[in-house]
Amino acid sequence: MTQMLPLNDGRHIPQLGFGLWQVPAATTAETTATALNLGYRLVDGAAIYGNEAGQGEGIRRSGLPREQVFVTTKVWNSEQGFDKTLRAAEASLKRLGLTHVDLLLIHWPCPRKDLYLDTWRALIRLREEGRATSIGVSNFQEPQLTRLIGETGVTPVLNQVEINPRLQQPALRAFHAKHGIVTQSWTPLGQGKSFETAPVQAAVRRTGKSPAQVILRWHLQIGAAVIPRSTREAGLRENLNLFDFALTEAEMAAIATLDEGQRCGPDPARFEMD
């Protein structure tokens, strides 16, 4: 149902998935199983979301074969460093009830801690051991990506970063494209702050789609992978229904003008929370 993007390690990732941030632990299994049964094939989780057990349970409850579901989790800031990361990944796998994840990410670079290089070396080890099929990062900026690649020769397959119409990150996306790194957009709907803008509303009127669908389609057409979150079945269904229309070049250009460099989330250059 959803398109696949190639990764630089020979694997592929569904371009569209769903995210589990702030999904209550008690209902995560149900949300995950519902989403997978609607047609999603990628579940984005993280140790810090506190719902990895439900993420794993939902995958089992969906009845889908394990190999049809792309599972992501992330190493939290407090677990950075080589040995700690190895232990944190094992703990995540145990909570998920899985032998491996499809993608393991460093959640934030935490530049002042300066442990992301050792953490990356642990991810390389975990990939060699088959505990993570692919490895990548989240919230990394160009200098940190350059350092990882330069020091280890291993390029992350993906960088999951905040992208929405008000924060389009064109320079970072160009760097990703040059290095074969997939851009994956978090908070893709940007807290609804561009839903009422003229370019989005014009596309809504022409296509008959919702503002959320127009914006998610914009992500797909800039070549990004995207992981919207909804706990409502109708919302999950709406966010999956993106493949029967396209934005015109003029509509894409109009949405490009909405970039204000305004973040919804923290600035990754300064975010070090444990």
- Catalytically active residues are 49
Q: How far is CA 174 from the centre of its chain?
A: 18
Stretches 18-26, 57-65, 149-157, 168-176: which one binds ligand NAD (CB under 6 A)?
A: 18-26
Burial string for 3-40 (b: 16+ CB within 10 Å, else e) reads eebebbeeeebbbbbbbbeebeeeebbbbbbbbbebeb
Residues 54-83 contacting ligand NAD, CB under 6 A: none
138 is a site residue for ligand NAD (CB under 6 A): yes
Q: Which residues contact 145 (CB under 8 A, 6 or more apart)?
A: 137, 156, 159, 175, 179, 181
Rounded to whole angstroms, the Cα distance separating 165 from 145 reads 24
DSSP character string of 39-92: T--EEE--GGGT-HHHHHHHHHHHT--GGGSEEEEEE-GGG-SHHHHHHHHHHH
165 is a site residue for ligand NAD (CB under 6 A): no
136 is a site residue for ligand NAD (CB under 6 A): no
In terms of CB distance, is 133 or 160 closer to ligand NAD?
Answer: 160
Q: Which of 5, 13, 16, 20 binds ligand NAD (CB under 6 A)?
A: 20
Q: Which of 118, 142, 238, 259 binds ligand NAD (CB under 6 A)?
A: 238
Q: Which of 160, 169, 183, 194 binds ligand NAD (CB under 6 A)?
A: 160
Q: Which of 40, 116, 120, 186 binds ligand NAD (CB under 6 A)?
A: 186
Q: How far is the CB of 97 from ligand NAD (least distance, A)?
A: 19
Interface residues with ligand NAD (CB under 6 A) are: 19-21, 44, 107, 138-139, 160, 186-189, 210, 212, 227-230, 235, 238-239, 265
